[in-house]
Structure 1
Amino acid sequence: MADARIGTRSLIAHLGDWRQTTGPSYLALFDRIRLLVLDGRIAVDTRLPAERDLAQALGVSRTMVSAAYRELRDAGYTQSVRGSGSVTRLPGRAPVGGQDVSGDFIDFSKATLPAYPGLYAATQRVMDSFAVELGGSGLDPFGSRALREAVADRYTARGLPTSVDQIMITIGAQHAIFLLARVLLGRGDRAVVELPSYPHAYEALKAAGARLVPVAVGAKGTSDDGMHGWDAVGLEQAFARTSPALAYLMPDFHNPTGESMPAELRSQVLSDAARQGSLVIADETTGELDIDRAESFLPFAAYGDAATADSAITIGSVGKTVWSGLRVGWIRATPAIIRKLAGARFAGDLGTPVLDQLIVAELLRDFDPVLELRSAQLREGRDTIVSMLGERFPDWRVPRVDGGLAVWVNLREPFSSQLALSVRSRGVLITAGPRFGLDGAFERFIRIPIGHQLPELKRGLDALAAGWSTLSHHPMPPSELYADVV
Structure 2
Amino acid sequence: MSAPPEVSASRVASWLRGSLDDATGPAYTILAHGLRDLVSDGRLPVGTRLPSERALTAVLPLGRSTVTRAYDLLREQGYATSSRGSGTRASLPLSRSARTDHMLVPQGDGRVGELADDGAPVVADCTNLTVPGPPGAMAAYQQALEQLPAFLAGHGYYPSGVPALRERLAQRYADRGVPTSPDQILVVNGGLAGLAVTASALAAPRDRVLIETPSYPNAIALWHRHRVRLGTTPVDASEGWDVPGLERTLLAAAGARGGGAARVAYLIPDFHNPTGSLMADADRERVAAALRRAGTVAVVDESLVDVTMLDAGGKPVAMPAPFAAHDDRTVSIGSASKAFWAGLRLGWLRAPRDLVASLVDARLTLDLASAPLEQLVLMAMLEREEEMRAIRSVELTASRDALVAALARHLPGWRCVPPSGGLALWCELPEPCATRFVRAAESHGVLLPPGPRFAPGGGHERFVRLPFARPPHVLEAIARRLAAAWEERDAEHARAAPGLPPLG
What is the TM-score with the length of structure 2 in the denominator? 0.72
Cα offsets for 1:439-486 (capped at 9, x unmatched): 4311110111011223332222121011001112322989xxxxxxxx
Q: Which residue of 2 aligns with 1:96?
A: 103
Q: Which residue of 2 aligns with 1:264?
A: 282
- Decide whether the 8 Å contact of 1:245 with 1:277 is kept in 2: yes
The structure-2 alpha-carbon separation of the partners of 1:98 and 1:441, relative to structure 1 and needing over 3 Å to count, comes to farther
Cα offsets for 1:221-277 (capped at 9, x unmatched): xxxxxxx10011111112212110001101011111110111111112221112222
The whole-number CA distance in structure 1 between the counterparts of 2:309 and 2:489 is: 33
Match of 1:100, as an amino acid? Q
Q: Which residue of 2 aligns with 1:16?
A: none
The whole-number CA distance in structure 2 between the counterparts of 1:114 and 1:477 is: 42
The whole-number CA distance in structure 2 between the counterparts of 1:465 and 1:342 is: 49
SS in 2 for 1:143: coil
- Decide whether the 8 Å contact of 2:235 with 2:241 is kept in 1: yes
Match of 1:202, as an amino acid? I
The whole-number CA distance in structure 2 between the counterparts of 1:460 and 1:402 is: 22
Structure 2 unaligned runs (5+)? 1-99, 113-122, 254-260, 312-316, 497-504
Of the structure 1 ranges 180-189 and 360-369, higher mean CA displacement relative to structure 2 is found in 360-369
The structure-2 alpha-carbon separation of the partners of 1:455 and 1:354, relative to structure 1 and needing over 3 Å to count, comes to same
The structure-2 alpha-carbon separation of the partners of 1:276 and 1:467, relative to structure 1 and needing over 3 Å to count, comes to same
- Decide whether the 8 Å contact of 1:381 with 1:453 is kept in 2: yes
State the 1:139 CA deviation.
1.2
State the 1:438 CA deviation.
2.9
RMSD: 1.8
SS in 2 for 1:194: strand
Q: Which residue of 1 aligns with 2:333?
A: 315
Match of 1:150, as an amino acid? R
Pick aligned residue for 2:320 from 271, 293, 297: 297
Pick aligned residue for 2:252 from 231, 241, 244: 241
Match of 2:235, as an amino acid? V
State the 1:391 CA deviation.
1.1
1:108 aligns with 2:126: yes
The 4+ residue runs of structure 1 with deviation greater than 6 A are none
SS in 1 for 2:342: coil
1:191 aligns with 2:209: yes
Match of 2:424, as an amino acid? A
State the 1:397 CA deviation.
1.0
Cα offsets for 1:274-311 (capped at 9, x unmatched): 2222110111110121113564212210123xxxx2x2
- Decide whether the 8 Å contact of 2:310 with 2:394 is kept in 1: no
Structure 1 unaligned runs (5+)? 1-92, 221-227, 479-486
1:222-241 matches, cutoff 5 A: 228-241=239-252
SS in 1 for 2:187: strand
- Decide whether the 8 Å contact of 1:112 with 1:452 is kept in 2: no
Cα offsets for 1:159-193 (capped at 9, x unmatched): 21110011000000010011111111011111111
- Decide whether the 8 Å contact of 2:302 with 2:333 is kept in 1: yes
State the 1:387 CA deviation.
0.5
Match of 1:338, as an amino acid? V
Cα offsets for 1:53-106 (capped at 9, x unmatched): xxxxxxxxxxxxxxxxxxxxxxxxxxxxxxxxxxxxxxxx98414633432311
- Decide whether the 8 Å contact of 2:176 with 2:322 is kept in 1: yes
Match of 1:236, as an amino acid? E
Match of 2:367, as an amino acid? D
Pick aligned residue for 1:324 from 325, 342, 345: 342
Q: Which residue of 1 aligns with 2:166?
A: 148
Q: Which residue of 1 aligns with 2:451?
A: 433
Q: Which residue of 2 aligns with 1:84?
A: none
Pick aligned residue for 2:402 from 384, 391, 400: 384
1:164 aligns with 2:175: no
Match of 1:123, as an amino acid? Y
Match of 1:355, as an amino acid? L
Match of 2:249, as an amino acid? A
What is the TM-score with the length of structure 1 in the denominator? 0.74
The structure-2 alpha-carbon separation of the partners of 1:353 and 1:385, relative to structure 1 and needing over 3 Å to count, comes to same
The whole-number CA distance in structure 1 between the counterparts of 2:478 and 2:332 is: 34
Q: Which residue of 1 aligns with 2:73?
A: none
Q: Which residue of 1 aligns with 2:297?
A: 279
- Decide whether the 8 Å contact of 1:418 with 1:476 is kept in 2: no
SS in 2 for 1:126: helix
- Decide whether the 8 Å contact of 2:438 with 2:450 is kept in 1: yes
Q: Which residue of 1 aligns with 2:464?
A: 446
Q: Which residue of 2 aligns with 1:353?
A: 371
Larger radius of gyration: 2
Cα offsets for 1:374-408 (capped at 9, x unmatched): 11111011111110111111111121211110010
Cα offsets for 1:352-382 (capped at 9, x unmatched): 1110001111211231112111111110111
Match of 1:233, as an amino acid? P
- Decide whether the 8 Å contact of 2:135 with 2:388 is kept in 1: no
The whole-number CA distance in structure 2 between the counterparts of 1:471 and 1:216 is: 29
The whole-number CA distance in structure 2 between the counterparts of 1:95 and 1:364 is: 32
SS in 1 for 2:167: helix
The whole-number CA distance in structure 2 between the counterparts of 1:454 and 1:388 is: 9
